[in-house]
């Protein structure tokens, strides 16, 4: 991976210091923009050049600041980087720059990781592992990954939480208003209150690596022997609250797939779709962090899925209501749709009628409403987002009066995130046909589907399609 310059000092942990960095960045950007405007007036023929330069410089500084702050501040940047929320050229510049945060943030010095390991295990890293490499091979919002080897010879990846990140995260959450304003500046159609809620839930859960290790072990067991989905093995004896030790897997980043030909991108899109929605519908369990930094591409036929810090389980009743929402849309039955939404607490006697949000729901779920090939591209994802978060859309005011149960915040994060990833790939498939395999056990029509069906019969012979009992 490309090596980033490490920050010179420790992570700032005080809420005033971290808030000042955010405010300072905003002030510098404003001053720079005024200068840009003056230059544009003086040389109107170069106005676009000056504006592009302003956006590029501001984006670079924003990425550096968020990366050095770590914690919730950087998580907002990562979150915004993979949402297809605007086709504005200026905002595209920010999204492209923030994409760097998906795979690599400025790393901490290896000695800091060694100190965390010694604190967690009560012994130096060299006594725990037969080999430990100080240079991080990957880094993210609250931790970084080192290559190592167990005494028994296994090659492992060790994710180590940054020292001081717990305090930094809690400081960020005190500044959540500033953070959500920053997110809206990057992606203006995002609902700031939902961003605040999501950031708080997401980052606080990520602090407990033991919980994440348990989640990953569960997924590893569920997908053992799968033909194209790989979940790295976890070594629980080498996991602690701030350390996860797992199988080391070599692979390429998601971004490399953007250069693949159409057939290969379609196959990758199908794998991503099957993992997230297959987990939801077969096991009532899903990972809600689908951003592209959490995939390793193993050639063009397999994908390793990483990071299980945010995992949600669904109760049977909630799952049934979610299925009903889609089935009612496919049937064009508004009364059935209203009952399903009321069952989840989204519609109540004080919220809008179903007619006010029907078109938005159709747009949001359009890929699975079409029984035929459908291309998910950036325009499709942007249109779905605009229907809910653009004040000019007909559904905007109605949607703001809906109930939003906690589970739906996480589900929508997963669902829209997956579709954003598919939109980047510009993939085509019969998504309804794949979904019917997951809903009702329909016969697969793709090569991947047939391979998965053979695995399912062997690995989970007692599985019953959820719609079979409805």
Active site (catalytic) residues: 289
What phi-psi label fits residue 441: left (phi over 0), alpha (psi between -120 and 50 degrees) or beta? left
Both tokens assigned to 4: 């980033």
Task: Give, as one character, the DSSP assignment of residue 240.
Answer: B
Residue 63 three-state SS: helix
Give the full edge-to-edge strand order of the sheet including 295-298: 229-230, 302-305, 295-298
CA pair distance 323, 315, nearest whole angstrom: 13
Q: Of the candidates 240, 218, 254, 7, which has an alpha carbon nearest to the alpha carbon of residue 109?
A: 7
H-helix or E-strand spanning residue 296: strand 295-298
The residue whose two tokens read 């779709």 is 273
Nearest alpha-carbon partner for 6 in 112, 133, 108? 108
Burial of 150 (0-12, 13-18, 19+ CB in 10 A): middle
Q: In angstroms, rounded to a whole number, what is the distance separating the alpha carbons of residues 229 and 137? A: 22
Q: Which two structure tokens, joined as six digits, stand for 143? A: 């931790």
Structure tokens at 455: 């695995």
Continuous segment of H or E residues that includes residue 19: helix 15-42
Q: Which of 301, 241, 273 is nearest to 433 (CA)?
A: 273
d(CA 257, CA 261): 9
Please state, in angstroms and rounded to a whole number, the distance separating the CA atoms of residues 329 and 361. Answer: 8
SS3 156: strand
Is 222 within 8 Å of 279 (Cβ atoms)? yes
CA 69 – CA 64 distance, rounded (Å): 9
Nearest Cα to 175, choosing from 43, 299, 313, 76?
76
450 token code pair: 């047939």
């Amino acid at each position: 991976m490309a090596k980033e310059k490490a920050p010179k000092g420790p992570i700032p942990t005080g809420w005033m210091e971290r808030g000042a960095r955010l405010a300072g960045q905003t002030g510098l950007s404003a001053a720079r923009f005024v200068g840009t405007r003056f230059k544009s007036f003086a040389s109107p023929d170069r106005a676009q050049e000056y504006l592009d330069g302003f956006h590029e410089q501001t984006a670079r500084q924003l990425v550096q600041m968020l990366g050095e702050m770590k914690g919730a501040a950087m998580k907002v940047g990562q979150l915004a980087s993979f949402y297809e929320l605007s086709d504005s050229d200026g905002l595209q510049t920010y999204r492209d720059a923030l994409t760097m945060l998906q795979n690599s943030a400025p790393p901490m010095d290896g000695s800091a990781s060694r100190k965390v390991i010694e604190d967690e295990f009560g012994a130096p890293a060299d006594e725990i592992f037969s080999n430990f490499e100080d240079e991080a091979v990957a880094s993210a919002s609250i931790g970084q990954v080192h290559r190592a080897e167990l005494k028994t010879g296994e090659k492992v990846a060790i994710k180590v939480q940054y020292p001081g990140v717990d305090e930094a995260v809690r400081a960020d959450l005190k500044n959540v208003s500033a953070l959500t304003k920053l997110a809206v500046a990057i992606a203006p159609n995002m609902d700031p209150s939902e961003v605040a809620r999501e950031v708080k839930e997401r980052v606080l859960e990520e602090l407990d690596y033991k919980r994440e290790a348990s989640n990953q072990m569960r997924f590893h067991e569920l997908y053992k022997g799968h033909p194209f989905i790989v979940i790295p093995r976890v070594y629980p004896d080498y996991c602690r609250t701030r350390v996860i030790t797992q199988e080391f897997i070599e692979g390429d980043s998601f971004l490399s797939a953007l250069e693949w030909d159409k057939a290969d991108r379609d196959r990758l899109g199908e794998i991503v779709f099957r993992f997230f929605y297959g987990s939801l519908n077969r096991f009532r369990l899903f990972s809600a962090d689908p951003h592209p930094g959490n995939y390793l591409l193993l050639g063009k036929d397999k994908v390793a899925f990483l990071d299980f810090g945010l995992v949600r389980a669904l109760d049977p009743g909630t799952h049934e209501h979610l299925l009903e929402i889609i089935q009612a849309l496919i049937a064009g039955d508004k009364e059935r749709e209203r009952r399903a939404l009321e069952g989840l607490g989204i519609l109540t006697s004080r919220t809008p009628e179903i007619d006010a949000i029907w078109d938005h729901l159709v747009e949001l779920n359009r890929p699975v409403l079409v029984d035929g090939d459908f291309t998910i591209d950036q325009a499709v994802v942007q249109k779905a987002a605009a229907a809910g978060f653009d004040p000019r859309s007909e559904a905007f005011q109605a949607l703001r009066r809906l109930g939003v149960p906690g589970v739906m915040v996480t589900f929508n994060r997963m669902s829209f995130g997956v579709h954003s990833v598919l939109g980047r790939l510009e993939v085509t498939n019969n998504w309804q046909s794949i979904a019917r395999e997951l809903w009702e056990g329909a016969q697969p029509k793709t090569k991947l589907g047939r391979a998965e069906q053979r695995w399912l019969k062997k690995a989970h012979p007692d599985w019953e399609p959820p719609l079979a009992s409805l």
